[in-house]
Amino acid sequence: MERIGPASDVATLRMRLRDLLVERAVQYGHFVLASGQTSSYYVDKTQITLMGEGLYCLARVILDQIEGMDVQAVGGMTIGADPIAGAVSALGICHGQGLDAFIVRKERKERGTRQRVEGPLQQGARVVVLEDVVTTGGSAIEAIKAVEEECDATVVEVIAMMDRLQGGREAIVDAGYQFTTIFTVTDLGVEPE
């Protein structure tokens, strides 16, 4: 394995991320997905997003994707987007990209500030919504609605680590948003269902 680090180019990091997904995250069996659908495979994204090397590779690839975009923050639905947003925000400082992170709760909390969107997201900010794995696109669309309604944010793009190719891209695009995925299931050697 080639050693990765700050001097690694993004193409090398992307390939390492793919290898890690195949080696550690793709599992076969019978699974129920967040969408309620059943599947013969599952991508355990936490094997990547909570692993130092995997998260580093993912954050660098996302930073490369958003370089030059006029955005102030990145984030998405808790809990899947939380580590990704934190890593992109923190690593962005090292790469001259000052980005804040935000998280969107599934429901508005009933204590404290009673916010649904947490973090230093300024009213009217331009943001990128992050996703770990997209199936139907429902979580991304829910996060978009929350930041638009609560923070008057402009969603510039949705970026996902992986698209299961089960209609999520189409739902997000049909809702009027740009969508980019780093990998599809076929990139990982899995047949879409």
pLDDT of residue 95: 86
- The string of pLDDT tens digits covering residues 30-65 is 999 888 889 999 999 999 999 999 999 999 999 999
Please, are residues 68 and 181 in contact by the beta-carbon 8 Å criterion? no
pLDDT of residue 65: 96
d(CA 164, CA 186): 8
The DSSP code for 119 is: S
pLDDT of residue 35: 80
> Which domains are seen in the chain, by residue range?
10-188 (3.40.50.2020)
Please, are residues 4 and 12 in contact by the beta-carbon 8 Å criterion? yes
Confidence band (pLDDT; 50, 70, 90) for 3? Answer: low
- The string of pLDDT tens digits covering residues 183-192 is 999 999 999 8
130 vs 193, higher pLDDT: 130
pLDDT above 70 as % of the chain:
96
User: Phi-psi region for residue 97, left (φ > 0), alpha (ψ -120 to 50) or beta?
Assistant: beta
pLDDT of residue 6: 72
User: Phi-psi region for residue 142, left (φ > 0), alpha (ψ -120 to 50) or beta?
Assistant: alpha
Q: What is the mean pLDDT of the chain?
A: 93
Confidence band (pLDDT; 50, 70, 90) for 12? Answer: very high
- The string of pLDDT tens digits covering residues 97-156 is 999 999 999 887 777 677 899 999 999 999 999 999 999 999 999 999 999 999 999 999
3-class SS of residue 46 = helix
**End-to-end CA separation in angstroms for the chain:** 32
Q: At what angle do helices 10-20 and 52-66 cross, to 10 degrees?
A: 130
User: Backbone phi, then psi, for 107, in 5-degree steps?
Assistant: -140, 150
pLDDT of residue 31: 95
23 vs 106, higher pLDDT: 23
Longest dimension (CA), the chain: 48
pLDDT of residue 2: 57
| Paired residues of 63 in beta bridges | none
pTM of the model: 0.94
4 pLDDT higher than 90? no
pLDDT of residue 108: 75
d(CA 138, CA 103): 16
